[in-house]
Amino acid sequence: MSSSVDATLVERLSFIRFLFDQGSSQCDRAEPFAAAGLLTLHDAVEGFLLIAAEHVSATLGKTDFAGYWGLIDKELKGDGRRLPSEPAMKRLNSLRVGLKHHGTLPSRQDAVRARDDVSKFLLAATGIVFGLDFDRLDLVELITQPEAAEMIRRADAEVAANNIVEGLALLSEAFDGLLKDYSDRKQWGSRRGPYTFGPTLQNFF
């Protein structure tokens, strides 16, 4: 992901991905608990639509869920882009209204289908509206310590290559580096840092 991408946008979209991941996990649960995934997935989509509308400077007013497509498409049409998956997301919204406002529990199959629909929507729409890859969104772009950020990127590559131990080792080093960076900037009196809770055990012997 390009370092020129606005940090606040990355942060907000990363939260949408977090909601999607949470909703996906909930959809894997047995009935009736899988139904909770619909609510979380709907929150992810609605949050995404709000960010997208702001990004393209769409005028919202008192817009309902289905109204986002027309308003966002109006701003995208200049270069031939359109927001995808409108029928599928309306189906998700109907399931959510039935569950939240009428107590109608969807089946687990409904939840799994909704998860697949939302996945396709977010993957396509993130590219169309923002020119970003939804699967690669994460907060590593916001880490201000370059060394730690690079270790996390390397850890991700190692895990992708199935080198799990090496990936975990790099994550551990990155975490230690972040803690040390913070501690070095927060020293006070006699070099006592924020993680100093008292004398070490060796001082008692």
Fold of domain 7-137 = Four Helix Bundle (Hemerythrin (Met), subunit A) (1.20.120)
Amino acid identity for residue 105 in this structure: L
Q: Which residues of the chain have pLDDT under 70?
A: 1-5, 78-79, 187-205
pTM (global) more than 0.85: no
The pLDDT of residue 10: 87
- Report the Cα–Cα distance between both ends of the chain, in Å, rounded: 52
The pLDDT of residue 191: 60
What distance separates the 2 farthest-apart alpha carbons in the chain? Answer: 76
Strand partners, 188: 192
The pLDDT of residue 2: 42
What whole-number distance in Å separates Cα of residue 61 and Cα of residue 34?
33
Place of tokens 């606005």: 6
Cβ-contact 115, 23 below 8 angstroms:
yes
Count of CB atoms situated within 10 Å of the CB of 203:
7
The pLDDT of residue 201: 62
Place of tokens 């359109």: 82
The pLDDT of residue 139: 72
Cβ-contact 56, 129 below 8 angstroms:
yes
Residue spans of the domains in the chain: they are 7-137, 143-185
